[in-house]
Amino acid sequence: NRRRANSLKVERQSKEFKTGENKRRIEALRTERQNEEFRAQDNERRAEALRIERQNEEFRAEDNERRADAHKTERQNEEFRAQENERRAEALKIERQNEEFRAQENKRRAEALRIERQNEEFRAEENERRAEAHKIGRQNEELRAQENERRLKSVKVKREEEDYKEEERRRNALRMHNTRDKYKNNFDGMESNYESKIKEGPTHICSCCGGLWFAYSIREYTVEMLAKKGLKKEFIDTVCYLKHAIIKLCATCRK
């Protein structure tokens, strides 16, 4: 055996011999693995050998890297990727039938989402996606009715709590207060604007009738603009006694 081993070692230094021997070994192994019992034993031996090797941290890191690269390459194939996604979804579906697993996974997902939402850009995009999905979902009449019912039940339950009722009353009072302030501010603004316009008085002269008008009653035109409306230049010169490049017409003269 020792002589054979040494002889084989010498022979395998020849690249041609080594290639030929590797081919023979592969073919022999392929033939042997057609035997189900041998294949099961061989798989067991390989798994055990790999388990022992992976106890070495350096080997484990390299093996993980090789596996990740191989997997990345395989997933570039669209058919493989689709099949793997389907397998993963089916496996996850089966695992989630276990209540404990489902609870743990939900917890992991919630924690991962909480961390991701600390990123302002991600949070904004997710909120937009949720709003869009919710908008589309509510176009379904049945879903909208169910959601409205859930909301009513939820509010009804919450209103049984005194703290919630008190908080809701405060929110409603604040909303009414803000609405009144907004209306008052708008009214005050309109009143102030009206008073300033009245004090200023009508100061814009109509080029046609010569009357004094407020700015909102006057429209400005050029000769070309009026000509496009079908008015002849002689007519424009006759009725517009104020000869300016900009012709100002009141509401009456525009008719």
Q: Which amino acid is at 181?
A: D
pLDDT at res. 58: 93
139: confidence class by pLDDT, cuts 50, 70, 90: confident
70: confidence class by pLDDT, cuts 50, 70, 90: very high
- DSSP sequence for 149-204: HHHHHHHHHHTTSHHHHHHHHHHHHHHHHHHHHHHHHHHHHHHHHHHHHHHH---E
37-41, 149-153, 165-169, 195-199: which has the highest mean pLDDT?
37-41
137: confidence class by pLDDT, cuts 50, 70, 90: confident
**pLDDT greater than 80 at residue 206:** yes
Q: Using DSSP, state whether 102 is helix, strand or coil.
A: helix
Reported as a single tens digit per residue, the pLDDT across 144-171 is: 888 888 888 888 888 888 888 888 888 8
**pLDDT greater than 80 at residue 52:** yes
Spatial contact of 109 and 116, defined as CB atoms under 8 Å apart: no
pLDDT at res. 107: 93
Least confident residue range of 102-106, 200-204, 212-216: 200-204
Q: What is the mean pLDDT of the chain?
A: 87
**pLDDT greater than 80 at residue 229:** yes
Residue 156: other Cβ atoms inside 10 A: 9
The two beta strands, 212-213 and 204-205, are antiparallel
pLDDT at res. 64: 92
**pLDDT greater than 90 at residue 73:** yes
